[in-house]
Structure 1
């Protein structure tokens, strides 16, 4: 039995949401680079090594951070461990809230329902979670000699689509917020700004690079 107090559970929730937020940002940035590759090909071709490193670094970080978030290890604070902590401390969650006058009002909140929904989401996303860990254990965190010369085989045998990663992050943020709202009657945004802020930043940067190339070519009479 993992007994903790309300403040500790809330601190865990805020910690997890911070990790979810940065991973959402990584994913949004990576997707934007992929989506805008053709549109801003000239700009990206100016520094191909730089963008290759960015692609690779983002992909690696996303995979590792997602595995940390859905780790099964009891010593790791991930969504599974957080679920277990909340499940073992349901007595800390109330279906009433006290106002400034000390009066308690019943609220439509049930930790049992929150946990039941999360359990269904774990089952629904189990294959994607398994594939994430399979990729991590063979090519991202380790160099499995069976696949080191053919990493594509792992990605083909244990595929993880970007929309699956996004769905896992949404599940994680929804569950964490369901816990936060049970204590504070508020939620925490899983994004730094707007959900598309990172992709908009990427497109703005690429547009500036493209404009700079065109200006330079015009100055040299190439267009």
Structure 2
């Protein structure tokens, strides 16, 4: 995933989230993206760790960065942006591994942003100091919800990593051992690889799901609608 490349994923966003209960006593960090040929969300990286914090997220991003460079030689992991929730550890780890530029191109999902607003409002009093704190808090996140400040107007409004998490649940991947989880991930990778090769052979392996361009067209309509302008701007 490199925004300057010519690969199918060069314009895709990378969706990151953590899920509890997939493995016993572990948190599962997933990084997924929508693949325009497979027409579905594809996990690119999955890591089991004791907890979701800056330390382990930094390891997750660092390992992903090194793995892509090793696999594709000089290819750098430099996506259009990353979508994650509002947890500060996500943004701290992102900046530590990738730098401020990628942080500025990334955003949280709209739902988690609204959740964070409600939590933050409860801590604000009528004092001038608290008002300034809230202004600073909002200013840092203006690109997370307002189209006028977004570096890419086609940035997704939702964190699609939730789809990957839901897939774990619906197929019964709960309280697995690490070995069983690794086996599931390998099987998924082989299935995705097989489907991708079949597409290259002009064999239909997917349904009539949405394409990358369909998604962008929908997002453009949402941005252009009067309701959207009133709500976000």
TM-score where L is the length of structure 2: 0.29
More strand by share: 2
More helix by share: 1
Structure with more contact order per residue of length (Cα contacts < 8 Å, sep ≥ 6): 1
